[in-house]
Amino acid sequence: MEYPKVIEACPLCHCTERIVEQEVNIEKKEGRIGEARISTSSQKLLPIVDPLTSSIAFPVLQMFYDICANCGFEYPYIIKKERMTQDQLIALMKAQMGMK
């Protein structure tokens, strides 16, 4: 599989509009957030190997979710594969939980 993988439409109803994406786009147009911001209702990190027993950097799937504007189903619409160190993974997980 090639990454990043982008899922253009809801897998249930095939609607292409997403709630968070629409709101983020409004904020971008009004200049309140940067263009590089990825719209996401939630984000998941999935280490492909055990980060405690692997080498310095290991593969991680990073999944960005949004909510279908038609049926309300939350689904991953962007899936990226990256190499991260333990420190990078822990920092990203802490940031997602609002910790420093």
| Tens-digit pLDDT profile for residues 76-91 | 999 999 988 888 888 8
In single-letter form, the type of residue at position 86 comes to Q
- CB-based contact 58:66 (threshold 8 Å): no
| Tens-digit pLDDT profile for residues 3-27 | 999 999 999 999 999 999 999 999 9
Closest CA to 61 of 49, 72, 53, 73: 49
pTM: 0.80
Write the CA distances from 16 to 2, 10, 66, 76, integer angstroms. Answer: 21, 6, 11, 13
